[in-house]
Structures are given as C-alpha cells and as structure tokens.
C-alpha cells in the first residue's frame, strides 16, 4: 500500500490534529490549576505523558510505536496464556 502524499495528509488531518492538541493542552492546564498540582505532576502517569510528548516532538520515524510502548506493560515471558473456554 502506498502512503498518501504528505501534503494530502496535512490537508486531510490538520483540523483533527489541532483539536486533539487543544484537548491535551486543556488537560495539562486542568492538572496544573488543580489542588495538589505539584504532587500530581510527580505521578508516574504524568511522567509517561511527558515522555510521550517528547517522542511526539522528536524526529523519530516511528512515533506511534514509541508512544504505544510508553503506555504498554513490559513483556513478561512467564505470563500465562489465556485458555479457551469449554
């Protein structure tokens, strides 16, 4: 499958991306204004959000993969596989 031309992607997804960025900015604003903001920003989830933003702003060609890995559990080779129901 051939990827869409970059300009077409920008034309097609600009408003959606803008909306999502504004939503994210509003969430960070709410965290920063809330009681206990300093403590909330020490939460490991907040650190994951900041790391994901760093990846988003990077030049990496696989941003989606990197960000998905930030929020994924590490691989556990001993994890029991689900068994089919009978």
* Residue at 4 is within a domain: no
How far is residue 64's CA from residue 85's CA, in Å, rounded to a whole number?
Answer: 34
* Residue at 55 is within a domain: yes
How far is residue 44's CA from residue 53's CA, in Å, rounded to a whole number?
Answer: 14
DSSP code per residue over 28-51: HHHHHHSTTHHHHTTSHHHHHHHH
pLDDT tens for 16-70 read: 999 999 999 999 999 999 999 999 999 999 999 999 999 999 999 999 999 999 9
* Residue-range definition of the domain harbouring residue 38: 13-70
Q: Are 69 and 63 spatial neighbours (Cβ–Cβ below 8 Å)?
A: no
pTM strictly above 0.75: yes
* Residue at 84 is within a domain: no
Domain count, the chain: 1
* Residue at 81 is within a domain: no
* Residue at 80 is within a domain: no
Predicted confidence band of residue 10 (pLDDT cuts 50, 70, 90):
very high
């Amino acid at each position: 499958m051939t990827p869409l031309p970059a300009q077409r992607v920008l034309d097609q997804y600009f408003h959606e991306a803008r909306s999502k960025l504004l939503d994210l900015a509003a969430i960070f604003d709410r965290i920063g204004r809330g009681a206990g903001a300093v403590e909330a920003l020490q939460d490991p989830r907040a650190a994951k959000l900041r790391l994901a933003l760093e990846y988003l702003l990077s030049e990496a060609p696989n941003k989606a993969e990197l960000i998905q890995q930030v929020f994924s559990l590490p691989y556990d080779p001993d994890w029991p596989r689900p068994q089919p129901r009978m």
